Every structure is written in structure tokens, then in C-alpha cells.
A = this chain, B = another copy of it.
Amino acid sequence: MKILIIGAAGMLGQKLTRALIAKRTLCETSISGLMLADVVAPKEPHFDGSVESSAADLSQPGVAEALISRRPDVIFHLAAVVSGEAEADFEKGYRVNLDGTRALFEAIRNAPAPYCPKVVFTSSIVVFGSPLPDVISDDQCLTPQTSYGTQKAMCELLLADYSRRGILDGIGIRLPTITIRPGVPNKAASGFFSSILREPLIGLPANLPVEKTVRHWFASPRAAVSFLVHAAELDTARLGTRRTLTMPGLAASVEDQIAALGRYAGGGAVDLISQERDEDVARIISGWPRSFDARRAQDLGFKAENSFDEIIRVHVEDELAGGAQADMPIADMRKRL
């Protein structure tokens, strides 16, 4: 079992790599080789089997062909220009997110037969845009309101068509907003959903730029990794012709987040959250999906957290306990902040 992870240097890519190494098998077959690619070469992890790490931009000629030349059995395609950048740089967004993905699928189509790898593609809930119902069903039509969402929706369609034709065995998963992201604050509009918990948990202040009544759809990084692994192991015959699934998550308000923080870390932690409104962030967030009925994915065995208490516990275990899974010891994190 050879596995290729494209986008392996990102937060999820790193966690997926570690999870696969710990698990040692995928689809009940021992993992013999890991190929890790990203725009900057991912750090090579310690692994008994073969590991290859490479710097690769899928949208450049020949790169996709080189990446699949060792014929990986499973390909995780996580690489993307993020939402804000795809909106700011029209050409780069389409080149990387659409053309890069198509180049990968085309390289697979043109590889010597027989070759039909499993391809796990990460899509996003931003393929849906306002006006939206309060609870979004699995049958909601695609109405992206950003170029990033448009590119993801187009790739979902490609994935289905290439799968229908037997060129690859694709499964797309639409990820909820991943919270609590480890590390330091970033400028993503969604960043505060993580920072209002992450910072107070280590005694640091954080700002909430929107009302506490704002609701959104969440899963932990650990849940996201479990989605990826479960997708790779799922028999896609169970998907029928619809190859992309909205992942389960937790519908919660900022109020719910803060209440969970209070229960875990006390009122002192809650007091570290200031509330200075940011009109730009508030406007962006107002168009985002609030809740899903992700029945298809749940029926297929995908599982997310049921409360923010659980999401906080996962964060503490995986990031703050100083164990093998931690991205950064708490002392270093304080230093960086």
C-alpha cells in the first residue's frame, strides 16, 4: 500500500501523515511507502517503510505525472490556495485549485493501464452560499459565492465524472470549519473561532469580532483526520453516483463555544475574551452556512464531535498535553505568542 499526500506540509497533511504512520495500515493493508508533496517539501517523518518528500506545484507541467509515477494506491489531495488568496489572486486560484486538480486527474487517466487509484479530495462547505436554509441538507444545490468555492465545486463535478468513467475511484469530503486549529492566530476570517478558545486556554487574551449569537459548523482537527482515513477505507460503491459528501460536524454558536471554555477553564479564561467588532469579518461570516443535516456521511460511518466540551478536550489532548501528537510544546507556544 503506497500512499501519496498532496498538501502534506499543511496542518491537516501533517496530522494525517502522523496518523497513518501510527496506524501502520490502510484498507487492512500494511503501508509500505509514503510520498509527501507540497509547494515546500514536507519534513520527512520517521517511518519504517519508504518515505519520499518533494516540493511540487501540481499546476506546473509534468509535476502530476512525476507524483504518480510510483503508482500510489491511495492519493489524498489536500493541496489548495486558500479562500482569501483565491479571491485576491484570480489566476492563481484557478491555476492551483482547478487546473492543478485536473492535471492530477489527467495524469491518472494517461498513466499506463491498469491504474485506478483511490483519490480522497478535500472540498469545503463554502461550495454553499447565501441564501441558505438554516439547516442544509445533502441535496442542497451548489451556490458558491467565492472563486475558491467555485473551484472546489468544479472539482467535485470532475471527481464524479472521472469516477463514473472508471479513471479513478474518487471520494470528496466537504470539511466543516476546523476548530481548534493549533498554532498561532492567522488572518483567516474564520480564525477567531479557534483563537477565542486556543489563546484563553493558555492564559492569553483573544478578541471576538462578531456577536455571540453567530452560529457555524465545526469539527476538530482530529475528526478531520478521521474523515480522511475513513474516506480512504470506504467502499465507494456505497456512494452511488454522488461522490462528494458533506462531513458531519457540530452546529454551535459562539455562546456555546464560550460556555464550554468556562466549564473547562473557568471564568478567568472567559474574561480573557474581549469583544471588539470587525465589520469586515462580520460581513463575511454572515453569508456562511450555519448548520447541516449531514445524514449521508453519518450513515456511511463518518463521525464528528457532539459538543464544544469534546472539541476543547481533543485540543488539550492533542496539542497541549506535550505528548507525541503535540505540534508544539506549550512553553514554545507561549514564547511564539
Contact = CB atoms under 8 A, between A and B. Distances in A.
A273 interface: no
A143 B90 contact: no
Given A90-B165, A165-B90, A157 B129 contact: no
B147 A242 contact: no
Interface stretch (A6-14, A46-54, A134-142, A316-324): A134-142
B165 A142 contact: no
A311 interface: no
A145 B164 contact: yes
Interface string A117-158: 000000000000110000000011111110100100110011
Contacts of A241: 129-130, 143, 145
A65 B129 CA distance: 32
Interface in A33-91: 90
A158 B154 CA distance: 8
A141 B144 contact: no
Contact of A165 (B129, B130, B147, B158): B147
A217 to B, nearest CB: 18
Instruction: Assign chain A's interface to a size class.
Output: 20 to 34
A61 to B, nearest CB: 16
A160 interface: yes
A293 interface: no
A165 B161 CA distance: 27
B140 A161 contact: no
A12 B307 CA distance: 57
Contacts of A142: 141-142, 157
Given A90-B109, A144-B160, 12 more contacts: A90-B165, A129-B241, A141-B141, A141-B142, A142-B157, A144-B161, A145-B241, A147-B161, A147-B165, A150-B160, A154-B157, A154-B158
Enumerate the 3 nearest inter-chain pairs by beta-carbon distance, A residue then B residue, closest first.
Answer: A150-B161, A141-B141, A154-B154
Interface of A: 90, 109, 129-130, 139-145, 147, 150, 153-154, 157-158, 160-161, 164-165, 241-242
29 contacts: A90-B109, A90-B165, A129-B241, A130-B241, A139-B140, A139-B141, A140-B141, A141-B141, A141-B142, A142-B142, A142-B157, A143-B241, A143-B242, A144-B157, A144-B160, A144-B161, A145-B164, A145-B241, A147-B161, A147-B165, A150-B157, A150-B158, A150-B160, A150-B161, A153-B157, A154-B154, A154-B157, A154-B158, A157-B157
